[in-house]
A = this chain, B = another copy of it.
Amino acid sequence: MLSAKSPSKRCPTEPLKRERRKDARPGELLAAALDLFVEKGFALTRVEEVAKRAGVSKGTLFLYFSSKEELFKAVVRANISGKYPEWTAEFEAFEGNTAVILRRAMSMWWSSVGDTQASGITKLMMSEAGNFPELAAFYQQEVVEPGHALIRSILKRGMDRGEFRVIDLKYGVYTVLAPLIFLAMWKHSLGICCPASHQIVPEEFLATQIDTILNGLVEPAGKSGGGT
């Protein structure tokens, strides 16, 4: 009874208002910010609303993030760039056919970014980069560069192993990227207000894209004349 009051040993059901919240705050704010940035874009998101959604006051947000821009950067780091190490590790460890890696990469992107709110960040940057140069530079460095590097390394592996045709790497990267970015943008623009009949089913979309990317449109028999 005497010294049982150690702050770390408490009845687990107790709310522990101050302390426990403090650890949870940044995450709650990040989650709220992600939602709102995705919903309204960077410029139209008001920090006060982010705070309210996270259940705190305006001032509290600035206790954890020194400005709206820093908040945004933290959102990007938490939802996108933070995942590269894991992805890179996974693909470096992978053995087997490079086409399989590519399929896997695209479906992993879907499950961990495309299918989450994080895809909204992609759309947002494509929409607003021109007006927030500092953010654009940050995104280029933290997200675009590493993303390109990852895709480039996969393509190079395929070419080195004789599995892929030799193509221009700089632009080849976009063959993989374009469908993903398109999907992210579509989902957060036309996709949210488009009639059911025109909805894109992401899994089917991606399956078709990866299949065509790998095998091409042209019938192998007639490939010699492949539209050159």
Contact = CB atoms under 8 A, between A and B. Distances in A.
Interface of A: 39-41, 43-44, 97-100, 102-103, 123, 125-131, 133, 136-137, 139-140, 144, 155, 158, 162-165, 167-168, 171-172, 174-175, 177-179, 181-182, 185-186, 188-190, 192-195, 198, 200, 204-205, 207-220, 222-223, 225-228
Contacts of A185: 126-127, 181, 185
A7 to B, nearest CB: 16
Contact of A43 (B44, B194, B204): B44
Nearest to A144: B190
A78 B136 CA distance: 30
A174 B205 contact: yes
Given A102-B227, A129-B193, 20 more contacts: A41-B43, A41-B130, A41-B131, A99-B217, A125-B190, A128-B189, A136-B194, A140-B190, A163-B218, A163-B222, A164-B218, A167-B217, A168-B204, A171-B200, A174-B182, A174-B208, A175-B209, A178-B181, A215-B216, A216-B218
Q: How many copies of this chain sit in the oligomeric assembly?
A: 4
Contacts of A220: 165, 220, 223
Contacts of A178: 178-179, 181-182, 209
A155 B217 contact: yes
Q: Which of A41, A139, A140, A167 has the most CB of B within 10 A?
A: A41
A94 to B, nearest CB: 13
